[in-house]
Amino acid sequence: MHRSVLEDPEFVAWANEHVVVLVGHPPGSHKTVDVKKPKPGEPKSQCSLYPGLSCDDHEQAFEDAVEPPKAGKDDKPPADGKAASDKPKAAKPKPKVKGKSELVLPKMSFDGVPASFVVPPEGTPELFKADREPKACREGLEAAQKALDEHPVLRSRWKAYEKAFADAEKAQKDGKVKVCLLALGKIDADAKDGLAKPVAERLKAVLDAIQAKVAPKVASATAGSGAPAVKAKTLLALRAELDVPLSTPLPALAEIDAWLAANAPEAVPPAAPAK
């Protein structure tokens, strides 16, 4: 990616919300600088070319991601008779990912620099040539995102989703169905504009788990020969836990309303006003 793109304020603001940028740069062409007041999460000793990073960051990314050049027929062997690959190298510590043994990056090959790649979730790098001008770079990246998912998630929204999922899963674990559904409702509120596939799948998985847990309770409350008024009271209490506006209401909620309409119509709650 050309330096003019990386330094363009509008592109930077857009990129911070829409993409994850990983810079790979070999060592030796510049120095580090000490920053008196680094931003949260940034090192004190930073790269003079890429503010916010240490040189170790971009050197490690380059080493991990770049395909080593192949020896040509005209290459001369080293004076000691050993191939460069046979010579011992000082091992650099590999970046660690919590919960995983090692971070493995895809290998990339290219001719000339700067060179840019788009790496989709499956990890296959694709050479990206529209990287010399901010507008063209943004449009090219937006097209690449649309090819992966019609509804890419902004970084700020992803943080909100992660918090909502964490709150929902904690409430689910604690048996607080209403609290769980209210947290999921914050995510589901974006469903009208479309959710990214991973978000939609995760949301559905939690809602399906809630449905699987409450369905037997509905079946139990409607079974037997008890008085309709007693059953209605139990179902209304259960309904109060499930009554959270969702784009696709839980089937258990529809089952409760259907039973009440057929067996205790006086207990059916009034319909919610249309939005």
The first and second tokens of residue 83, run together, are 């191939």
What the block records as the tokens of 230 is 């007693």
Q: Tell me: pLDDT of 92 over 70.
A: no
The answer to whether the CB of 263 falls within 8 A of the CB of 228 is yes
The answer, as to whether pTM is greater than 0.75, is no
E strand intervals along the chain = 32-34, 45-47, 116-118, 126-128
- 106 pLDDT band (50/70/90 cuts)? low
For the chain, how are helix, strand and coil distributed in percent, rounded to 5? Answer: 50, 5, 45
Give residue 120's pLDDT band: very low, low, confident or very high (50, 70, 90).
confident
Range in 79-83, 227-231, 234-238 with the lowest mean pLDDT = 79-83
Average pLDDT over residues 240-262: 92
pLDDT of residue 77: 46
Asked whether residue 155 carries a pLDDT value surpassing 60, the answer given is yes
C-alpha 33/C-alpha 21 separation (Å) is 21
Q: Tell me how far apart the 2 most distant CA atoms of the chain are, in Å.
A: 97
By residue count, the chain amounts to 275
Please tell me the number of Cα atoms within 13 Å of 31 on its side-chain side.
2
> From CA 166, how far away is CA 161, in angstroms rounded?
8
